[in-house]
Amino acid sequence: MLEELRQTCRALLADGKADVVIGYAQDDPAMPAYPVFVTRPEDADRLVWNEMCLPNLVAYLTRPEIKALGKPAVVVKGCDERALVVLAREGQVDRGEMVAIGVACDGVGKPREAKCSICDVHQPRYADVVMGQAKNEPVDAAARYAEVEEFLKKTPVERMAFWREELSRCVKCYACRQVCPLCYCTRCIADKNQPQCIDTSATLKGNFAWHLTRAFHLAGRCAGCDECTRACPVGINLRLLNLTLARSAEAQFGYRSGMDPEAKPVVGSYSLQDKEEFIR
Amino acid sequence: MSEIISQEKLRRLVGEWISAGKRVYGPRRPKPGPVLYAWLKAADELLLDGYVRPANSIKEVVFPRHEVLYSYRLEGKKISMGEPEPLSAERIVVGARPCDAASLTILDHVFNWDYKDSFYNRRRELTTVITVACSRHDAHCFCTSVGLAPDAVLAGYLAGVVERFRESPLDSMTGPVARRDRASVEANLAALAGEPRLTALYQAFLSSAWPDFEKDGGDSA
């Protein structure tokens, strides 16, 4: 499968179907792979694919410095592909002007990432080419949000105490924002200071302001790649926050972000049949 | 001469410091989450083994994220200014890693080259740092690459800074603030030049950043 991946990428570059392949490279098999931007066919041998290929490379597609390299081809796992579906739906990438190279995935990370235990997209569904074969088994919604259900058993006071403890650690490094494939604004509201809507200080108040804003801006959009959680240097459980909003979007609107390229996004569409008065 | 202190006795000592009103900062038992340096309320919160290093640094002891610098009161057209209570509690950092301790000499320069920062310097005077040698490392550790060692106190760390500086001469040490005007650049360099280990840094600055500085149309009169 690795040779097939390298061969495919080499051909894409050689035939001019892509100017840059965004893929994974690795020095130490025990360490997470890192992104590599291959522009010459002879460098395709640098590409790797294995269970340590954690990063979601889709995040690079919207960056000006990567766009400047020309037409991209990007290696995607099934979960990363969900973010790509959202980007295309939101008009941020033109699927006709890029190549998605899917890789079948049995799960990543040692130990496995939390998202992998409830994954139903082991096999990429919309990629232009797919390497390998994996099976997409449906996963029960109850299992998908089990962590949230468990958390909601706590009292509101206990839940608030949990978030106070979690968010007090935040140092406002904004790694969660930088790594997110769907946080693509060129000017983030957290960086605007006229007027200043978000308290920028790394105090508990400022940290709540940032994390609530980040979560809400991803409500109904977050594709659940968990890169924010993995990037956080102080181990804040952002996954739990994201899952809570994903659970609402599925329960209220039957919508799962990035699952169906044709589905109307929950945020960014409205219906005359909406039960709320104000929207009509 | 070397002395050995058992964990039990160290913990007892930490307990004594806390009850004597000293503020003690050290690696704290996670609750949950990663191991972090934090202010310890009790000696048994101190965690000395079972991890590589805490996820944060000890910077907060000398440079907190936020602090009261002054206060003011408006009464009609009259403004009265107030100053915060001077700090007096002694601080002890226990269980710091050698890399964290080495960073303090860098911070000393940063807070003293243009302006002597009284808030920083007061905290620094009140602070004693006790390091522990590292017995474990992970793939992210790089202290030996910057001239430090798992059991180092401070030796050689600045040599590493010089190397980094050569690769990227316009980094934070010579960024826009440091290059604001010629007088402050010269004052900064004079402060650095007193340090034998910083001579290379000084030279590198002159040979790379200085010509740039003049082209930028800085205050070169």
Kindly state whether residues B194 and B94 are assigned to the same domain. Answer: no
A31: chain B residues, CB-CB within 8 Å:
139
Q: Domain check: are B112 and B206 in the same one?
A: no
pLDDT under 50: residue ranges of chain B = 1-2, 155-181, 209-221
Distance from CA of A119 to the nearest CA of B (A): 25
Q: Quote the number of domains for chain B.
A: 2
pLDDT at A269: 81
Best mutation target among B66, B138, B140 (most A Cβ atoms within 10 Å) is B66
CA A44, distance to chain mean position in Å, is 25
Domain co-membership, A27 together with A106: yes
Domain for residue A275, yes or no? no
Of A131, A163, A194, which residue is a domain's last? A131
From the list B55, B65, B66, the residue facing A235 with the nearest CB is: B55
Residue A274 lies in a domain: no
Nearest CA in chain A to B31: A165
Q: Do B36 and A234 touch (CB under 8 A)?
A: yes
Beta bridge pairs of residue A36: A23
Task: Check residue A107 and give its pLDDT.
Answer: 94
Is pLDDT of A51 > 50?
yes
Residue B159, pLDDT score: 25
Q: Scanning every residue of chain B, which has its alpha carbon at the shortest distance from the alpha carbon of A236? A: B33
Q: Which of A30, A201, A235 sits opposite B33 (nearest CB)?
A: A235
The four Cα atoms B192, B66, A229, B48 give a dihedral, to 10 degrees, of 70
Helix (H) or strand (E) holding A207: helix A204-217
Count of CB contacts below 8 A, A vs B? 28
Domain that holds residue B18: 1-62+88-167
Nearest to B31 among A165, A203, A234 (CB): A165
pTM of the model: 0.78
Is the CB of residue A211 less than 8 Å from the CB of residue A183?
no
State whether A73 and A26 are in the same domain: yes
Residue in B with minimal Cα distance to A30: B139
Which residue range(s) make up the domain with A225? Answer: 141-253
B187 touching chain A per CB within 8 A = no
For residue A155, what pLDDT is reported? Answer: 96
Residue A67 located in a structural domain: yes
Q: What ipTM is given for this predicted complex?
A: 0.75
| B215 inside 8 A of chain A by CB | no
A15 and A115 within one domain: yes
Model confidence pLDDT, tens digit, residues A12-40: 999 999 999 999 999 988 889 999 999 99
Q: Do B3 and B52 belong together in one domain?
A: yes
A8 plus A59 within the same structural domain = yes
